[in-house]
């Protein structure tokens, strides 16, 4: 029952560079995806491979929909909330069979059309998608999928339903794929029918669609790998966050278990923070950073409920900057290293969300730490294979000698951020102590446990392509630690 083994994705496809339709930019570069295949002219795709096992972590209730109609064309959703920020948004969107090929069998809701499915599974998927729309577009302000990539939200005459195609299989064992019809500027989604009601697949793909409709990340090589953590952030937020609770309730959706994959995001935390390398990368697992930015437990200026939307909106159009550059702009005067340093400190006991914390408490004994080797007399050195790369981290749990004072000194020739995370084992509350210059002393109580978190936080951001890591971002942080009052 380990969620960490249940979701293993790989990215397959993308794009021709031909058949570019106005307005530019209308293609994503072929290097965006290392396994690029020839695709239909003028179309874009993002493929998500199937979970490796049946998606049993989905706790979405389908019982609510058992009595729903089986007539193919009947709308089954309740009326969309009127709290949308788009003043001229209609309550019922118009069908658009030309996007993705259409078909004769379909089931409608107010803002979606599912082709190739009828009955209870179509109805359940539509309720889920209407809930996702309500959470992300109506409540959190993402641009509507009913609006063309090319159109102005204030003047659009027609708002179109998002087409979702329920299919028997997809190339490359994919579970789902987001496509875009570049000339009209609409997205559509294909999902293998066995995953249609699974939010970890269908809301993930719809999250790609919402990313596409914001527009700024399209055609930018260095945002390429970031589409996947973003889509998993959409899925996990939909399933677990209070931010979507109102929308889930409106459409009868139960909250689910977090899709966090701790064996990767914690076990391999030394990797580049978003690493799109084939087979070894972490980009499907890197999304907890986005949840941290959203929940903003440290109250950093510039972060909060709309931080992920702003990461898209404030992206400097056409710049090919990395989202870390955008994040630094959102943060203003706060150095990004302080924020990523704190993010990783929170990953010591995974208190970024209640749902993620639950998974951590179940799995913590199975996770790999083991970053340091002893050089005697309370001194340690990071193992070369575990040196934190660009904005990667080491989480180093301490073995305490009972309660009392623990002093730590981290040294390195390169820039780093070191933090002590100290958890009360009775209450579960974690406190954080910044180690200025790598050095500090903390007093730990009887019911506390502690970890030293060391993060590679260079002063200058690097332009890098997560799909083709440069040697610069792979330089590990070489550091040593001395400790008294505890050991590693
Ligand atoms: C952040 O702000 C909230 C709400 O004001 C407050 O309850 C919380 O203690 C603050 N957290 C920190 C770390 O300052």
> Ligand 1: does its nearest atom lie under 6 Å from the Cβ of 298?
yes
CA distances to 66, 190, 466 from 8, in Å: 30, 19, 18
Of all helices (H) and strands (E), which one includes residue 372?
strand 372-376
How far does CA 236 lie from the centroid of its chain?
Answer: 8
* Residue located nearest, by CA, to atom 4 of ligand 1: 299
How many angstroms separate the CA atoms of 324 and 60, rounded? Answer: 33
Given a cut of 80, is residue 39 above it in pLDDT?
no
- What does the longest C-alpha to C-alpha distance in the chain come to? 75
pLDDT the model gives residue 44: 61
Given a cut of 70, is residue 339 above it in pLDDT?
yes
Q: Poorest-confidence range of 31-40, 328-337, 354-363, 464-473?
A: 31-40
pLDDT band at 22 (very low <50, low <70, confident <90, very high): very low
How many angstroms separate the CA atoms of 371 and 194, rounded? Answer: 40
Digit-coded pLDDT (tens) for 150-182:
887 767 889 999 999 999 999 988 999 999 998
Given a cut of 90, is residue 57 above it in pLDDT?
no
Q: Which ligand 1 atom lies nearest to the CA of residue 296?
A: 1
**Vertex 307: Cα angle to 364 and 470 (nearest 5):** 70
Digit-coded pLDDT (tens) for 190-203:
999 999 999 999 99
User: 3-state class of 403 per DSSP?
Assistant: coil
pLDDT the model gives residue 75: 31
pLDDT the model gives residue 88: 87
Which is it for strands 162-167 and 174-181: parallel, antiparallel or unpaired? unpaired
Q: Domain-by-domain residue ranges, the chain? A: 3-259, 370-487
Tokens of 354: 């209640």
Digit-coded pLDDT (tens) for 384-417:
999 999 999 999 999 998 889 999 999 999 999 9
How many angstroms separate the CA atoms of 138 and 140, rounded? Answer: 6
Length of the chain counted residue by residue: 488
Given a cut of 70, is residue 7 above it in pLDDT?
no
User: 3-state class of 322 per DSSP?
Assistant: coil
8-state DSSP, 91:
S
Tokens of 458: 């260079």
Given a cut of 60, is residue 133 above it in pLDDT?
yes
CA distances to 171, 189, 413 from 49, in Å: 9, 14, 41
Residue in the structure block whose two tokens are 């397959």: 12
113 phi/psi in degrees, rounded to 5: -130, 125
Ligand 1 centroid, distance to 436 Cα (angstroms): 22
Digit-coded pLDDT (tens) for 407-448:
999 999 999 999 999 999 999 999 999 999 999 999 999 999
Query: What's the mean pLDDT in 64-73?
Result: 26
Tokens of 208: 């790609």
Which of 150, 148, 151, 146 lies closest to 129, judged by CA? 146
Do residues 118 and 105 make contact, with C-beta atoms less than 8 angstroms apart? yes
pLDDT band at 50 (very low <50, low <70, confident <90, very high): low
Residue of 17 and 338 predicted with greater confidence: 338
Ligand 1 centroid, distance to 224 Cα (angstroms): 34
pLDDT the model gives residue 27: 33
Give the predicted TM-score (pTM) of the model: 0.86
Domain 370-487 sits in which CATH superfamily?
Mitogen Ypm (2.60.120.510)
pLDDT the model gives residue 208: 96
Given a cut of 60, is residue 356 above it in pLDDT?
yes
Ligand 1 centroid, distance to 125 Cα (angstroms): 37
Ligand 1 centroid, distance to 111 Cα (angstroms): 37
Ligand 1 centroid, distance to 354 Cα (angstroms): 16
pLDDT band at 69 (very low <50, low <70, confident <90, very high): very low
pLDDT the model gives residue 92: 97
pLDDT the model gives residue 182: 87
Give, for ligand 1, the residue of 294, 296, 299, 338 to mutate: max count of ligand atoms closer than 8 Å to Cβ: 299
* Residue located nearest, by CA, to atom 1 of ligand 1: 299
Query: What's the mean pLDDT in 469-483?
Result: 98
Q: Poorest-confidence range of 9-13, 130-134, 293-297, 329-333?
A: 9-13
Taking each helix axis from N to C end, the angle separating 199-214 and 119-133, rounded to the nearest 10 degrees, works out to 40
Query: What's the mean pLDDT in 312-318?
Result: 96
Tokens of 149: 């990539």
Residue of 61 and 92 predicted with greater confidence: 92
Given a cut of 80, is residue 23 above it in pLDDT?
no
Ligand 1 centroid, distance to 300 Cα (angstroms): 10
The rounded mean pLDDT for the chain is 85
What's the number of CA atoms in the CB half-sphere (13 Å) around residue 243? 26
pLDDT the model gives residue 151: 83
Do residues 139 and 13 make contact, with C-beta atoms less than 8 angstroms apart? no
Which is it for strands 174-181 and 43-49: parallel, antiparallel or unpaired? antiparallel
Q: Poorest-confidence range of 63-67, 309-313, 391-395?
A: 63-67
Q: Which residues of 107-125 are buried (b: 16+ CB within 10 A; e: fewer)?
A: bbbbbbbbbbbbebbbbbb
pLDDT the model gives residue 91: 94
How far does CA 309 lie from the centroid of its chain?
Answer: 12
pLDDT the model gives residue 86: 60
Which is it for strands 162-167 and 112-115: parallel, antiparallel or unpaired? parallel
Residue in the structure block whose two tokens are 């702009």: 329
8-state DSSP, 77:
P
Do residues 416 and 457 make contact, with C-beta atoms less than 8 angstroms apart? yes
pLDDT band at 333 (very low <50, low <70, confident <90, very high): very high
Digit-coded pLDDT (tens) for 83-123:
445 678 999 999 999 999 999 999 999 999 999 999 999 99
């Amino acid at each position: 029952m380990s969620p960490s083994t249940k979701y293993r994705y790989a990215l397959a496809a993308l794009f021709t560079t031909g058949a570019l339709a106005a307005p530019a930019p209308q293609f994503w570069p072929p290097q965006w995806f290392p396994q690029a295949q020839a695709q239909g002219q003028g179309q874009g795709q993002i493929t998500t491979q199937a979970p490796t096992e049946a998606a049993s972590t989905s706790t979405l209730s389908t019982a609510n929909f058992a009595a729903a109609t089986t007539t193919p064309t009947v709308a089954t959703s309740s009326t969309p909330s009127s709290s949308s920020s788009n003043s001229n948004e209609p309550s019922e969107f118009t069908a658009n069979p030309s996007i993705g090929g259409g078909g004769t069998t379909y089931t409608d809701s107010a803002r979606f059309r599912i082709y190739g499915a009828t009955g209870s599974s179509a109805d359940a998927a539509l309720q889920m998608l209407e809930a996702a729309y309500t959470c992300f577009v109506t409540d959190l302000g993402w641009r509507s999928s009913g609006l063309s990539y090319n159109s102005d939200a204030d003047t659009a005459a027609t708002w179109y339903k998002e087409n979702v195609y329920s299919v028997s299989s997809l190339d490359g064992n994919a579970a789902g794929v987001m496509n875009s019809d570049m000339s009209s500027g609409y997205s559509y989604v294909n999902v293998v029918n066995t995953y249609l009601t699974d939010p970890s697949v269908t809301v993930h793909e719809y999250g790609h669609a919402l990313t596409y409709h914001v527009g700024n990340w399209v055609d930018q090589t260095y945002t390429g790998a970031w589409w996947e953590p973003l889509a998993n952030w959409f899925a996990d937020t939909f399933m677990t966050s209070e931010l979507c609770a109102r929308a889930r309730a409106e459409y009868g959706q139960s909250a689910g278990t977090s899709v966090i994959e701790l064996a990767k995001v914690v076990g391999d935390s030394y990797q580049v923070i978003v690493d799109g390398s084939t087979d070894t990368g972490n980009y499907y697992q890197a999304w907890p950073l986005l949840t941290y930015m959203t929940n903003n437990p440290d109250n950093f200026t510039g972060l909060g409920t709309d931080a992920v939307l702003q990461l898209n909106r404030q992206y400097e159009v056409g710049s090919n900057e990395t989202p870390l550059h955008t994040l630094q702009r959102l943060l203003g005067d706060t150095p990004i290293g302080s924020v990523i340093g704190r993010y990783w400190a929170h990953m010591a006991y995974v208190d970024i969300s209640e749902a993620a914390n639950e998974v951590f408490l179940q799995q913590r004994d199975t996770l790999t730490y083991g970053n340091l080797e002893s050089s005697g007399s309370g001194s340690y050195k990071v193992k070369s294979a575990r040196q934190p790369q660009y904005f990667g981290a080491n989480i180093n749990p301490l073995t305490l000698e009972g309660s009392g004072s623990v002093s730590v000194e981290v040294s390195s020739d390169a820039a780093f951020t070191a933090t002590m995370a100290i958890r009360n084992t009775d209450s579960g509350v974690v406190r954080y102590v910044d180690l200025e210059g790598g050095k500090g002393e903390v007093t730990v109580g009887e019911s506390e446990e502690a970890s030293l978190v060391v993060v590679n936080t260079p002063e200058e951001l690097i332009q890098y392509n997560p799909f083709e890591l440069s040697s610069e971002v792979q330089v590990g942080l070489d550091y040593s630690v001395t400790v008294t009052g505890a050991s590693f």
